[in-house]
């Protein structure tokens, strides 16, 4: 079967503001590429359209033409909450021109909401819930929909949800993602500025799921289970990216890369004994990065470790990220930096229970850590997160899927007067961190090391200056 897999443009910035998300950080759609590789292994002809990719058209009319030029029999869409409606608009246009083409939607939004989406969105033929590789392959092979686990479909106009599909037990059985199907890969895809030294960069995922259950985290696709590729598979995958595409810096986007310590230690030993001349970034959690492992990560070429901190208020931390404590965070940051690695803090503003005082505590705590970098996202409640069921009892929610992208305050906690107040506090926090004299000294000392980022920044200066104005405190 001829299949086109689509990563919709979606709504990736702030309404009314220029979208520079792809300029600042363009990531390959790894989930789609994994499915593409799996389908090709099953002898299907597969094309991938990344509507956010380098040189991609700016309109859905053009995207539809690109899809139809491949004459697909099936079109699959990977949809986040903010990207779902954009993907659906493409499906409507495709169905209007060629009604025989089957449309399939998958991704976290679909897995969270389930078959109810079939009732309101007639241009969708099938929903793929959970992991998509085997489900889509069975559908493409012509298997009767009623016998495909993990599929939602229509039977005479009635929405039907089949039994869930068992998770893939051994991720090493999966082929490497089909990177070659992306136009402009890897040079047209880039990591966040000043997070890398060498270019080109790329992204990778080496596990699925997370053993923890933070209140805000949607686990609809991979659930709470935790599975991972072996150290040998990951090393071979990394070497493939390096030798086939020239990749020299990798961001590993596992939710918790170091959760299975032995495999990471083995992976580091492979990198040390058979070096590839590459650098890496990854995410860790308090309690999963002892000193010996940090030393191994440093020796293996790791540059920056991101740490999910979320808040500087101990009470909020206990509710939303149980098991993590502020002093343990402080100790972990100190030990990461003591081993010559960089520490990046990941925070979230506007969680249920947030107050002006808790936000001030977070700002003070952030500055006190001496972090090398920081990211503050705007809390967005997703349908598959544990707190979704009670979210409307804890504040006001604007359930506009287009804006549910962690870049807009769609939820305002009950103790905060308005979204405008949250925006002001957010802007003050971001500007305060990057204006801190100590942080600026560290940044200047590494500027030439990051000259690739510097040159890129200068080439796109107007876009970045436009984005910077979003974080300027509003005049009274």
In a domain, 335, yes or no: yes
In a domain, 463, yes or no: yes
Give the 3-state secondary structure of 316-342. HHHHHCCCCCHHHHHHHHHHHHHCCCE
Environment class of 259 (CB within 10 Å of its CB; exposed 0-12, middle 13-18, buried 19+): buried
21 and 129 within one domain = yes
Cα angle at 207 between 308 and 239, to 5 degrees? 110
224 and 152 within one domain = no
In a domain, 251, yes or no: yes
Q: What is the pLDDT of residue 10?
A: 82
* Stretch 423-441: mean pLDDT: 95
* Stretch 393-421: mean pLDDT: 94
* Stretch 158-174: mean pLDDT: 95
pLDDT, tens digit (0-9, with 9 covering 90-100), for 332-343:
999 999 999 999
In a domain, 38, yes or no: yes
Confidence band (pLDDT; 50, 70, 90) for 417?
Answer: very high
pLDDT, tens digit (0-9, with 9 covering 90-100), for 74-111:
999 998 999 999 999 999 999 999 999 999 999 999 99
Report the distance separating Cα 348 and Cα 200, nearest Å.
29
pLDDT beyond 90 at 113: yes
414 and 294 within one domain = yes
Q: Which residue has the higher pLDDT, 220 or 419?
A: 419
pLDDT beyond 70 at 375: yes
- 115: domain CATH number is 3.40.50.280
411 and 262 within one domain = yes
* Stretch 400-404: mean pLDDT: 93
Q: Compute how many other C-beta atoms are within 10 angstroms of the C-beta atom of residue 17.
A: 12
Q: Which residue has the higher pLDDT, 475 or 414?
A: 414
Q: Which of 161, 178, 201 is the last residue of a domain?
A: 161
Average pLDDT, the chain: 93
Report the distance separating Cα 394 and Cα 388, nearest Å.
10
Work out the percent of the chain whose per-residue pLDDT is above 90: 84
Report the distance separating Cα 415 and Cα 404, nearest Å.
21
* Stretch 175-198: mean pLDDT: 95
* Stretch 316-339: mean pLDDT: 96
In a domain, 207, yes or no: yes
Provide the domain limits for residue 365: 191-471
147 and 22 within one domain = yes
* Stretch 41-50: mean pLDDT: 97
219 and 154 within one domain = no
Helix or strand (DSSP H, E) at 467: helix 461-468
Order of strands, sheet of 102-106, starting from the edge strand that comes earlier in the sequence: 45-50, 2-7, 74-78, 102-106, 126-128, 151-155, 158-161
pLDDT beyond 90 at 475: no
In a domain, 310, yes or no: yes
Q: Which of 110, 140, 161 is the last residue of a domain?
A: 161
Q: What is the pLDDT of residue 223?
A: 65
**Token pair recorded at residue 4:** 């086109």
In a domain, 257, yes or no: yes
Q: Compute how many other C-beta atoms are within 10 angstroms of the C-beta atom of residue 427.
A: 16
Closest C-alpha to 381, from 401, 357, 362: 401
pLDDT beyond 90 at 473: no
Q: Which residue has the higher pLDDT, 360 or 10?
A: 360
* Stretch 116-138: mean pLDDT: 96
pLDDT, tens digit (0-9, with 9 covering 90-100), for 240-277:
999 999 999 999 999 889 999 999 999 999 999 999 99
| Phi and psi torsions of 179, nearest 5° | -55, -35
Report the distance separating Cα 14 and Cα 441, nearest Å.
31
Closest C-alpha to 381, from 402, 353, 352: 352
pLDDT beyond 80 at 26: yes
204 and 292 within one domain = yes
Environment class of 377 (CB within 10 Å of its CB; exposed 0-12, middle 13-18, buried 19+): middle
pLDDT beyond 90 at 221: no
**Cβ pair 65, 94 in contact under 8 A:** no
110 and 236 within one domain = no
Cα torsion 80, 85, 90, 94: sign: positive
Count of structural domains, the chain? 2
Q: What is the pLDDT of residue 245?
A: 98
- The DSSP symbol for 255 reads S
Work out the percent of the chain whose per-residue pLDDT is above 70: 95
In a domain, 95, yes or no: yes
Q: Looking at the DSSP assignment, which residues form a beta bridge with residue 126?
A: 104
Q: What is the pLDDT of residue 58?
A: 85
Which conformational region is residue 51 in: left (phi greater than 0), alpha (psi within -120 to 50 degrees), or beta? alpha
pLDDT beyond 80 at 472: no
Can you say how many angstroms the Cα of residue 58 is from the centroid of all Cα atoms in its chain? 22
451 and 363 within one domain = yes
Q: What is the pLDDT of residue 224?
A: 67
Cα torsion 249, 252, 253, 256: sign: negative
* Stretch 293-317: mean pLDDT: 97
244 and 144 within one domain = no
447 and 390 within one domain = yes
Confidence band (pLDDT; 50, 70, 90) for 476?
Answer: very low
Q: Which of 161, 180, 210 is the last residue of a domain?
A: 161
Q: What is the pLDDT of residue 399?
A: 95
- 365: domain CATH number is 3.80.30.20
Q: Compute how many other C-beta atoms are within 10 angstroms of the C-beta atom of residue 333.
A: 22
Closest C-alpha to 234, from 267, 210, 276, 202: 267
pLDDT beyond 80 at 22: no
203 and 120 within one domain = no
């Amino acid at each position: 079967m001829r299949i086109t897999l689509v990563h919709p443009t979606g709504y990736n910035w702030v309404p009314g503001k220029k979208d520079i998300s792809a300029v600042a950080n363009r990531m390959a759609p790894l989930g789609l590429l994994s499915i593409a590789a799996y389908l090709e292994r099953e002898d299907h002809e597969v094309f991938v359209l990344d509507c956010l990719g380098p040189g991609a058209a700016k309109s859905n009319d053009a995207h539809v033409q690109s899809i139809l030029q491949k004459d697909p029999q099936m079109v699959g869409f990977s949809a986040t909450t903010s990207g779902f409606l954009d993907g659906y608009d493409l499906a409507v246009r495709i169905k209007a021109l060629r009604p025989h083409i089957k449309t399939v939607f998958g991704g976290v939004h679909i897995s969270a909401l389930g078959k109810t989406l079939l009732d309101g969105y007639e241009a969708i033929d099938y929903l793929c819930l959970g992991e998509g590789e085997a489900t889509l392959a069975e559908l493409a092979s012509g298997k009767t929909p009623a016998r495909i686990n993990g599929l939602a479909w229509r039977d005479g106009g009635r929405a039907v949800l089949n039994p869930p599909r068992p998770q893939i037990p051994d991720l090493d059985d999966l082929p490497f993602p089909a990177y070659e199907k992306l136009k402009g890969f890897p040079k047209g895809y880039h990591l966040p500025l000043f997070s890398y030294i060498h270019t080109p960069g790329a992204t990778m995922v080496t596990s699925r799921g997370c053993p923890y259950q933070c209140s805000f985290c949607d686990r609809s696709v991979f659930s709470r289970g935790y599975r991972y590729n072996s150290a040998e598979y990951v090393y071979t995958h990394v070497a493939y990216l390096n030798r086939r595409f020239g990749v020299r810096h990798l961001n590993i986007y596992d939710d918790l890369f170091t959760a299975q310590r032995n495999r990471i230690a083995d992976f580091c030993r492979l990198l040390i004994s058979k070096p590839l001349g590459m650098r890496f970034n990854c995410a860790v959690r308090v309690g999963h990065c002892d000193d010996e492992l940090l030393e191994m990560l440093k020796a293996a070429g790791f540059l920056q470790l991101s740490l999910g901190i979320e808040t500087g208020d101990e009470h909020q931390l206990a509710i939303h990220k149980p098991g993590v404590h502020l002093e343990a965070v402080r100790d972990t940051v100190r030990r990461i930096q003591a081993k010559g690695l960089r520490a990046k803090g990941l925070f979230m503003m506007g969680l249920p229970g947030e107050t002006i005082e808790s936000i001030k505590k977070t700002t003070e705590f952030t500055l006190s850590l001496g972090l090398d970098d920081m990211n503050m996202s705007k809390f967005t409640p997703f349908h598959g997160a544990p707190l979704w069921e009670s979210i409307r009892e804890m504040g006001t929610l604007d359930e506009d899927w287009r804006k549910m992208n962690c870049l807009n305050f769609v939820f305002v906690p009950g103790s905060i007067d308005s979204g405008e107040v949250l925006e002001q506090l957010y802007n003050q926090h971001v500007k305060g961190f990057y204006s801190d004299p100590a942080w600026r000294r560290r940044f200047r000392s590494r500027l030439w090391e990051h000259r690739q980022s510097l040159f890129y920044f200068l080439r796109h200066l107007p876009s970045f200056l436009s984005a910077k104005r979003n974080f300027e405190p509003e005049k009274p």
